[in-house]
Structure 1
Amino acid sequence: MSARRSDTRERIQQVALELFAERGYEKTSLREVAERLEITRPALYYHFKAKEEILSSVIEDLNASIGELVEWAAAQPHTREAREEILGRIAALLNDQWRPLIRFAQVNQAAMAELPAGAQMQERILTMVSVLSSPEDGAVEQFEARLAVIALILGSVPLMGGPELTEEERAATAMTVATRLISGLRGSGQ
């Protein structure tokens, strides 16, 4: 696929997710996506025939990146440094390419539940949540490891009723909390 076509697809995905989060998935049409992008509907249809295709393609990209992250994380030693690096990589993905999809999923849970790719995303996220703990860890340590990843996820979306923080401050706060949660895990002193 050419770089230009790939860039256009990514731009369509990004704008569509923004509209889906703003207006709701069901209330957003492909016409509105094309208008926001300032392209014709045939140009949009060249890349995606339906909004379901747009959403599925975004989720497939997310699932692939989670799969790569989980595979890499599984090969890491159970040391504090490795766990902090895993958290850093999760945070980087959340603060870069995953944030729009996480926000979309938060606002459009019904649409996510109806798509097969949505079920795959949920399964992949659950797998990712477990990468920081090992079978040797007790129940409390495993729970803390899962909470660390959940803290990062929560740090990537605006909190309702929370303190007014910039996206960067919220992400940094989430990373601090996540790092504290994993500090007591076995292997942390290695």
Structure 2
Amino acid sequence: MTGGPAPTGRRGGPRAGDTRSRIQDVALGLFVADGYDRTSLREVADRLGLTKAALYYHFRAKEDIVDSLIEERIAALDELIEWAEREPDPVRMRREFVRRYASDLYETERQADISRFVARNPTVVNALPGGRRLAARMRRALELLVVPDEPLGAQLRRILAVFCLHAGELFDEGLGDERERRTALLEIALETMESADGATARRDRQRSPAPAAAPARPGTRRTTTRSGR
């Protein structure tokens, strides 16, 4: 394990006086930096200068800490889903959803670290009640973005537009500056969503019937051509 100050997982450090939040910050930083399995509650307590009894007052196990962090992601996602359900323009909603999702994901290092932990530890997350609730919320979010009768390729693009925002958290080494990487991922996500809109629009144009010929005006004679002349 590395020495030095405890990782907080949030710019600006832990909030003074909020022991529960400080435990979450330090534990999350250790989970991401050193690995979930290699981090013990004893180490979290030592980094904070707490006794294990004091830590147990807030969290009885590592799983409880993870579950509490997942609930933060669920709360942010619920707020975004509620906004999307009220938005009357579906095209605008889908593109703005991507922007707001990225903002929630990247707004603080704590949120980014939670997302990074979830992506890198699916077995741990999926075994927890919070992980199952998060999966259900993600399914609901994707249902709002996907148009059921549009081409399969367009549906998959809409799903990929959301998940590509997480790519930088999975493969963050050697991919440039963090800010540049996140900006590029958002641009790719928006282009992917717009590409899905384009594919559906092309399909709709192909389905549209050809315009009917204008009827002859009353009093006009139709000209006919006789064969042989």
TM-score, normalized by length of structure 1? 0.81
Structure 2 spans left out of the alignment, 5+ residues: 1-14, 202-229
Matched, 1:106 2:119: yes
Q: What is the Cα deviation at residue 32 of structure 1?
A: 0.6
Match of 2:164 among 151, 157, 176: 151
Aligned ranges for residues 4-83 of structure 1 at < 5 Å? 7-83=18-94
Question: Residue 132 of structure 1 aligns with which residue?
Answer: 145
Matched, 1:183 2:185: no
Match of 1:123 among 136, 140, 155: 136
Q: What is the Cα deviation at residue 79 of structure 1?
A: 4.7
Return the alpha-carbon distance in structure 1 between the equivalents of residues 157 and 133 of structure 2: 24
Higher percent of residues as helix:
1
Taking only aligned residues, the RMSD between alpha carbons, in angstroms, comes to 2.6
Q: What per-residue deviation string (whole Å, max 9, x for no partner) do you get for residues 88-126 of structure 1? A: 110011113432122212332322232222222222223
Q: What per-residue deviation string (whole Å, max 9, x for no partner) do you get for residues 137-190 of structure 1? A: 3322221111110111223x0516x753122111101100011011141799xx
Matched, 1:171 2:182: yes
Q: Kindly tell me the number of residue pairs found equivalent between the two proteins.
A: 183
Match of 1:141 among 138, 154, 166: 154
Q: What is the Cα deviation at residue 30 of structure 1?
A: 0.9
Structure 1 spans left out of the alignment, 5+ residues: none
User: In structure 2, do the counterparts of structure 1 residues 82 and 113 end up closer, same or farther at CA, with 3 Å as the change threshold?
Assistant: closer
Report which of the two structures shows the higher radius of gyration computed on alpha carbons.
2
**Helix, strand or coil: the match of 1:131?**
helix
Letter in 2 for 1:93: D
Contact 2:41 2:61 (8 Å CA) reproduced: yes
**Helix, strand or coil: the match of 1:183?**
helix
User: In structure 2, do the counterparts of structure 1 residues 130 and 139 end up closer, same or farther at CA, with 3 Å as the change threshold?
Assistant: same
9-18 or 145-154: bigger deviation: 9-18
